[in-house]
Structure 1
Amino acid sequence: MTRLTLAALLLAAPAWAEPCPPPPDHSEPLAALTAQVQAAETEAEAREIGNRMWDYWADAPDDRAQAILDRGMTRRAGYDFLGAIREFDALIAYCPDYAEGYNQRAFVHYLRQDFTAALADLDRALARAPDHIAALSGKALSLYALGRTEAARDTLARALALNPWLPERSLAAPGAPLAPPGEDI
């Protein structure tokens, strides 16, 4: 292919070939929700706050990205894990800076018990959104599944510092496998 042909193809690219816009900056409302969940007095109150966090995490950069994310989540919910991975692969290819693409693909890997792949994607998600509580929780679970207990304990502690009401908190209770050293099984 000549340079002229390549240039012509690039100039003729359809509008959908536009790059993904930057992910929305929801850091302020997420920080406010984190403070609220830390002050929550009941598990039900904390769960409602956590659901509002998902509204921000799952807010894709544009309509195209949102449609891909929604299709992937629908496929995952329908146990079409390979279809979900294809959708999340497409989302990541289109929006490589959007943390939720990696987090959702990690969840599918986790469900398939491919904990190494889940961990790699969770690290990518956390590189983009360091306080993504669900990604931290997923990372702790993946590390635990891989037998990396100390790293799992540390990661879960970080997640619980942000949201002490996470269901995974039972793993850090006295006598549980991720309890602080000396309190674990």
Structure 2
Amino acid sequence: MLEPHTGSLLVDYYEAFLRDQDIDSFRQHVSARYTEGTLARLIESGNTQARRAAVLALGLFGSYEVNASVAKGLRDTDLTVRRLAGDALWAIWFRADSPENNKVLEEVSQLIGRQRHAQAVELATKLLEKAPKFAEAYNQRAIAHFAQERYEESAEDCRLVLEHNPYHFGALSGLAQCQLRLGHRPEALKTFRRALRLQPYNDGLREAVEALEAEGE
């Protein structure tokens, strides 16, 4: 596989995608010429367009091995990079296990979308018995628990997510919300601060931290 040392060709592919909106062509061209490692490095060292292109590409076909690298995009000065990084991480997390288990996870998510939360919890639990390190399965179960106002169970699942995936901004926010509803405001503040370190440009997180800090004064 060819591995260009700069992102110039990658930028060409990205700009062609912006023009033509052909995501399949972008995926095919980039995956044929760039390794995950090169794309991950470009997230930190490339120019703005190269960073955008690298994050978009890894969201399309990157493995869980680039989770930490893509998460760095959440702290990028460019808003588009940050948004693409968030989308890319969700995509990576949902395909982090075997194809069979990934399919079951999608079914769990669909059950949640249809507000069938008890069934979602049951299916996620069965999935986790097979794949106990599948972080996103814990996260989806946490979402279902939260919808049922089972905040202790949701918080515990969020903690399990973070044990396996410390970059999971969704689980951090979810844990903080659980802690607030359980009346654990000092713990919620710590969690929000941790989330803000991961996403320093997130206004909602910053406002939550400031509000809780003001309560303590």
| Both structures adopt the same fold (TM-score exceeding 0.5) | yes
**2:129 is the alignment partner of 1:93:** yes
C-alpha RMSD over aligned residues: 2.3
Q: Give, in whole Å, the separation in 2 of the partners of 1:165 and 1:46.
A: 9
Deviation at 1:77, TM superposition (A): 0.5
Question: What corresponds to 1:33 in structure 2?
Answer: 70
Number of equivalences: 156
- Say which of 137, 161, 165 aligns to 1:125: 161
Q: 1:90 to 1:56 in 2, by over 3 A?
A: same
**2:99 is the alignment partner of 1:72:** no
**2:89 is the alignment partner of 1:53:** yes
Aligned residues of 1:34 and 1:163 also touching (Cα < 8 A): no
Q: Give, in whole Å, the separation in 1 of the partners of 2:77 and 2:71.
A: 10
Question: What corresponds to 1:104 in structure 2?
Answer: 140
Letter in 1 for 2:71: T
Q: Give, in whole Å, the separation in 2 of the partners of 1:126 and 1:35.
A: 16
Deviation at 1:41, TM superposition (A): 3.5
**Structure with the higher helix share, 1 or 2:** 2
Aligned residues of 1:140 and 1:156 also touching (Cα < 8 A): yes
Q: Give, in whole Å, the separation in 1 of the partners of 2:199 and 2:147.
A: 23
**2:177 is the alignment partner of 1:141:** yes
Deviations along 1:135-176, one digit per CA (max 9) or x if unpaired, are 1111111111111001000011101101124464154254x2
Aligned residues of 1:84 and 1:108 also touching (Cα < 8 A): yes
Deviation at 1:109, TM superposition (A): 0.7
Q: Give, in whole Å, the separation in 1 of the partners of 2:207 and 2:152.
A: 20
Question: What corresponds to 1:114 in structure 2?
Answer: 150
Q: Give, in whole Å, the separation in 2 of the partners of 1:96 and 1:132.
A: 17
Identity of aligned residues (%): 26
Q: Give, in whole Å, the separation in 2 of the partners of 1:168 and 1:107.
A: 19
Deviation at 1:75, TM superposition (A): 0.6
Runs of 4+ displaced beyond 3 Å: 165-168, 182-185
Deviation at 1:121, TM superposition (A): 1.0
Gaps of 5+ in 1: 1-23
